[in-house]
Every structure is written in structure tokens, then in C-alpha cells.
Structure 1
Amino acid sequence: MAPTNLLPYPSTYKNITLTPNTTISYISAGSPTLPTLLLLHGFPSSSNQFRNLIPRLSATYHVLAPDLPGFGLTTYPSDYDFTFDNIALTISAFLTALNIGTYAMYIFDYGAPIGLRLALANPSSIKAIISQNGNAYVEGLGHPFWDPIEALWANATPQNYEIVRNGVLTLEATAYQYTAGVPPDDLPLVDPAAYTYDFLKNVQSPADQDRQLALFYDYRTNVAKYPAFQAYFRESQVPLLAVWGKNDPSFVPAGAEAFKKDLPRAEVMFVDAGHFALETKVEEIAAETLKFLNKIGY
């Protein structure tokens, strides 16, 4: 069990080059001698989404939060294949380069299918999972949010791509990701700079939008892998905490409850928040994360 009486380490901002054209930008905090906790962000964000969580974890854990390729400050070759399979391979190479053998992971949104691919590839490496609005069940897909994306999967026409582009890849839609489902009294806690940065850095340009559209289309492969993810849960019985913004329009509470089908000992906690629950409920989520990891002896 990790010690709990240490002062937090400051967040440090680093880069590691994996290939001549691939450099992962990441946040590191906490002593490397502590157990590792990998934080995997989602759409349309970056490691910056964990800026308030990391200081609450780094006294107890060696925290790593990479920018996924296509997001934040990570760089990649011009012919990078924007699929979830390929991003998972890149993050696996990142962990290998840092000599990380075992770790717990906090998975959110896109980070969930990426992290769960890592688990399928090397189940013994994963000591625990915290899933914060990180879906692995069809029951968790919220509608009507997913309707235009599912239409794209069924028929990848230019018209359907444009519907997704115009409906999701705008500043207004990015702000909606942060504010939808947030109780009115908590809205002042949502930092507009966070979603503005996400839009400017990850969504605004035509090239950004082409990358994001490629990932929206490829998300169908995540749904196809749900049975494999669920088999991993059943076979490994990995300790899992699902902590969920209960008002998230994209990944609904049924997705959190569904973990119990395959992991009877899974813990499920709901907070009165939206998709980016850390913006308004970071204290509660950090406390529950630490409590859970301490209880399982990690």
C-alpha cells in the first residue's frame, strides 16, 4: 500500500520521443518510487483536463497524464493513422519507454477504449481501473448525442461527415461538452479557458477536424470491442471504480451500472455533474479515487 503522509509533488511538464516524428507530451507528478496511476483523457481535451485532479493524487501516486496523439502538445508524423488501435499502440510504447510495468488507470471518454485495449494486450499490467464516464457497454451510449455518429458508422457519406462536423466540431459544441448537465449553481466552476483551449488546440482547424472525424468514424471499433472488454472484466475481476457524472448526455448512468454485470464487486458512484465531472466535482472524485485505491491495497 502506498504511503499517505507525503507532500504532493508539483506537476512537471515533459516530452518523450518515441520515434523521430512522434513525441508524447505528458504531465508527471509524484515520486517515481510510488505506484503509477495513468490518466487517459478524452475528446476534445488533453492532459490539461486533469490539472485539478493531479495535485490531489501526487502525494500518494506517481501520476502520468499523456496527451493522446491528435490532442494537446503531442506531435506525430503526417501519415499517422488516427485509429483507436494505433493510439493504444502509441501509449503502450510511451509506457514502455518510461519503464512502466504495472499501473492503475483512470480512464475517461476516449481514454476508456484506449486503456482497455492496453488491458487486453497485457492484462497482468493493470492493477485497478477508475472509469470516470468511460464507457464499455452499449447501454451507456446516450441518445440523441450518438445518433449522428451512429448514422455515420452506418453510411460514411460526405453528407453524414458534414452533419457530425457541424454538430460537434464547433466552439459551441465544445462548451456544451463541459456545461451540459451541470447544475446551475455549479456552472461558475467551469473554466471557459479549458474548453476554449480544447477547441483552439484540438478542433478548430480543418486538419484538426479531419483527425477528429476519423476518430468519430473509428469509434465504431470500440463498440465492436465491447464484448472483448467485458470478457476481460469477467476473466480478470480487475478492481474497478466507476465514478460518473450522472447528467452526462453522451455516456449515461446505465453505462456505469453495467460494469456490475461482469464485475460484481465493482463500485459505482454518481456525482451531480455532466461529462467533464472533474470541472465541478474534483474534490469528491479525488477522495473516492484515493479511498478506492487504498482499500484494494494499491
Structure 2
Amino acid sequence: MILRTLSATLALLMLAPVAQAAPAAAAPQSDAAASVTRYRTATVDGVNIFYREAGPADGPVVLLLHGFPTSSHMFRNLIPLLADRYHVIAPDFPGFGGSAAPDHKQFVYSFGHYADLMDGLVQQLGAKKYTMYVMDYGAPVGYRLALKHPERVSGMIVQNGNAYVEGLGKFWDPIKAYWADKSQAKRTALHMLVTPEITRFQYVDGVRDVSRIDPDNWLHDQVLLDRPGNRDIQMNLFGDYGTNVPLYPQFQAFFRRYQPPTLIVWGRNDKIFPADGAYPYLRDLPHADLHLLDTGHFALEDKLDVMAPIIRQFLDSQVAPR
């Protein structure tokens, strides 16, 4: 009953007008003001894209690309820890978080389309170069963006984001079945992936101390998943994820050719993107710094105290040394 009430309330709120923030010349800011997270919406190709933004306007850009089934909400605790020095931009993909969620029959929900929209957003915001933090769905979006503009990628932070066939294990079997047979039966079989049980599973599985995980995470995500029409949006994306796999060789070729400074911080107990997908990065990025953490899929919820210093050290030394 509580979840249904929250869903109805959010649906009404989502119908309210969203304040839009057109990019403007930034006024001088104090260090404290620059570290404040601001919540903005930009229109890219006619689509409202919500994003969180913090940090000095002239600082090195860190682009945070979220995973399923969450949004830029997953970075809410990390952003203030970077914003003293870095210009942090964390968008929501359409169908997630505060971004628009057009009808799945009238809008192309695909990773290629997401990459185009993210490209449009960062160009609107004047980001000429950026370090990408990619997680889950954010990985193929970010890597497609890298193929479009390899010269813009100043570094990569990879957290449970796949680019190798070794990383698609048993969890993916029903999704692979849908790639092979786009029947309604195979699509319906994936409905369980947007249920409250699976949403919670993604946050707590593989975590040693579940009391460290805020239940608001899965409640927040589930309310958004339960919006009218959103299940079909997610089914379309499950189907389109298969288009990323043929691009893996191109992603890997980008890694080998450009050798962007890379930090890999990976929840080793993740059943969705297991550590089997982390090790192969070292074949193509032999100088990458790999950390396997004793946690699950959403590592930032459990290991922020461990990850934040590692991320800062990487950015400060490899991306924007003083």
C-alpha cells in the first residue's frame, strides 16, 4: 500500500512543470558555493534531461553516468567529495530519475540514442574534455560517447561496467534469450527484473553488512520503475543492450589505442556484472589501477569511505595533477 501511494504521488509530481536551467556564464563562486550540488534540467534534441551539477565551472570535468535501475541519485554522496576541485556533471538518462520519460512507442530507448543525448548535453554545458565515471548502463553509453569523441576522454573510472563477453554471466541468460527471440513471451519473462524484490536484491546482494545500505535506495528506484509505461521502457532497453555486445571490440580498440588513465573500482561479489568482467580490462589497459572491493553491485552505497579516497587520488594524480 505504501509503495502504491508513493508511486501515485510521484506520478503527480512528475506532471508538474520542471524548472529549466539554460547554461549561462558562471559568476565567481566561493569554494563553499562551488561545492553545492545544483539540480538542473536542459533540453537536448527536444528531450528534458535532468542533471546534478557541482564544482567550479572552470574545473576539470567529471561526467558521472549511472546504471540500472537508478539515476544520478547513485552519485549523491560522491559528488560533494569531488566538487571542491572538479566540475561534476551527473545526468539522468531518459526514463530514469528526473529526466523525461516519453512513451516507448514514440521515443527510441537505445544506448546509441542515450549516447547522442549525453553528447548534446555535455556540448551544451561547454565540456570539451571529461573523465567518465561509468557504471552498469553508463558503461556502454560512455564508451559509445568515447567512440564519437575519443579526444575528449581525459580518463575513466569504471565501476561494475562491462565491455567484455566474460562479464555477461548466468544472470544475463534470460536477457540473452530475449535478444535471440523478441517474442512477447520472452519479453514478459523479463518483467521480474523490475519488481521490488529484484530492485532490493541489486543493492543488498553481496554486501556483508546490509545495515550500511539505506532502504530509501530501492524504494526511490521502485517508485520510478512503477510509473505508468516505465516497464515497457525498461524492456526496450533490455532488448537493446544486445546491440552493445558487437561493439565490444571497438570499445577495446579505443582502450588500446588511446590508453586513457583508468581506475577500476569493482564490487567483486556482484552477480550482475561479476569480477570476471573486470580483469579483461587489463589486457587492453595494462596500466589501469584495479581495486576489487568486498561488496556488491552498487559499491558506492557500501564502500564510499573506501572508494572516495581512491577516486580522489586517481583524479588528482592522473587526470589533473596540481
1:53-82 deviations in Å (ceiling 9; x for gaps):
111111121100001111011115442200
What secondary structure sits across from 1:282 in the alignment?
A: helix
What amino acid is the match of 1:195?
Answer: W
Inter-partner Cα distance in structure 1 for 2:78 and 2:167? 24
Inter-partner Cα distance in structure 2 for 1:297 and 1:244? 20
What secondary structure sits across from 1:28 in the alignment?
A: strand
Match for residue 15 of structure 2? Answer: none
* Structure (1 or 2) with the larger CA radius of gyration: 2
Alignment counterpart, residue 212 of structure 1, candidates 234, 241, 247: 234
Match for residue 11 of structure 1? Answer: 37
What secondary structure sits across from 2:199 in the alignment?
A: helix
Matched, 1:119 2:146: yes
Alignment counterpart, residue 224 of structure 1, candidates 246, 254, 259: 246
Inter-partner Cα distance in structure 1 for 2:228 and 2:252? 36
Match for residue 292 of structure 2? Answer: 270
CA drift of 1:141 comes to 1.6
Match for residue 129 of structure 2? Answer: 102
What amino acid is the match of 1:215?
Answer: L
Matched, 1:248 2:275: no
Match for residue 172 of structure 2? Answer: 146
Instruction: Give ranges in structure 2 of 5+ residues lacking alignment.
Output: 1-30
Matched, 1:93 2:116: no
Match for residue 70 of structure 2? Answer: 45
Inter-partner Cα distance in structure 2 for 1:72 and 1:296? 31
What amino acid is the match of 1:236?
Answer: Y
Match for residue 199 of structure 1? Answer: 222
CA drift of 1:244 comes to 0.2
Sort the Cα spacing of 1:206 and 1:158 in 2 relative to 1 into closer, same or farther, 3 A: farther
Match for residue 24 of structure 2? Answer: none
What secondary structure sits across from 2:77 in the alignment?
A: coil
Inter-partner Cα distance in structure 2 for 1:245 and 1:73? 27
Inter-partner Cα distance in structure 1 for 2:277 and 2:44? 34
What secondary structure sits across from 2:161 in the alignment?
A: coil
What amino acid is the match of 2:37?
Answer: S
Inter-partner Cα distance in structure 1 for 2:251 and 2:177? 24
1:92-138 deviations in Å (ceiling 9; x for gaps):
00111111110101000000000000100000000000000011111
Alignment counterpart, residue 157 of structure 2, candidates 130, 133, 137: 130
Matched, 1:61 2:93: no
Identity %: 44
CA drift of 1:263 comes to 0.9
Alignment counterpart, residue 282 of structure 2, candidates 247, 260, 284: 260
TM norm structure 1 = 0.93
1:127-161 deviations in Å (ceiling 9; x for gaps):
00000001111111232x11110111111111111
CA drift of 1:16 comes to 1.2
Inter-partner Cα distance in structure 2 for 1:226 and 1:51? 30
Inter-partner Cα distance in structure 2 for 1:188 and 1:30? 31
Inter-partner Cα distance in structure 2 for 1:24 and 1:240? 27
1:245-272 deviations in Å (ceiling 9; x for gaps):
0100011112111101111111110111
Matched, 1:291 2:322: no
What secondary structure sits across from 1:72 in the alignment?
A: coil
Inter-partner Cα distance in structure 1 for 2:150 and 2:255? 10
What secondary structure sits across from 2:243 in the alignment?
A: helix
What secondary structure sits across from 1:284 in the alignment?
A: helix
What amino acid is the match of 1:127?
Answer: S
1:164-222 deviations in Å (ceiling 9; x for gaps):
11x21101110001111111xx2111111111111111x21451010000000000011
Inter-partner Cα distance in structure 2 for 1:14 and 1:283? 27
Inter-partner Cα distance in structure 1 for 2:319 and 2:229? 45
1:1-39 deviations in Å (ceiling 9; x for gaps):
xxxxx55611111111224x4111110011111100000
TM norm structure 2 = 0.87
Inter-partner Cα distance in structure 2 for 1:244 and 1:39? 16
Q: How many residue pairs were aligned?
A: 287
232-241 or 10-19, which deviates more: 10-19
Match for residue 3 of structure 1? Answer: none
What secondary structure sits across from 1:177 in the alignment?
A: helix
What secondary structure sits across from 2:51 in the alignment?
A: strand
Where relative contact order (Cα < 8 A, 6+ residues apart) is larger, the structure is: 1
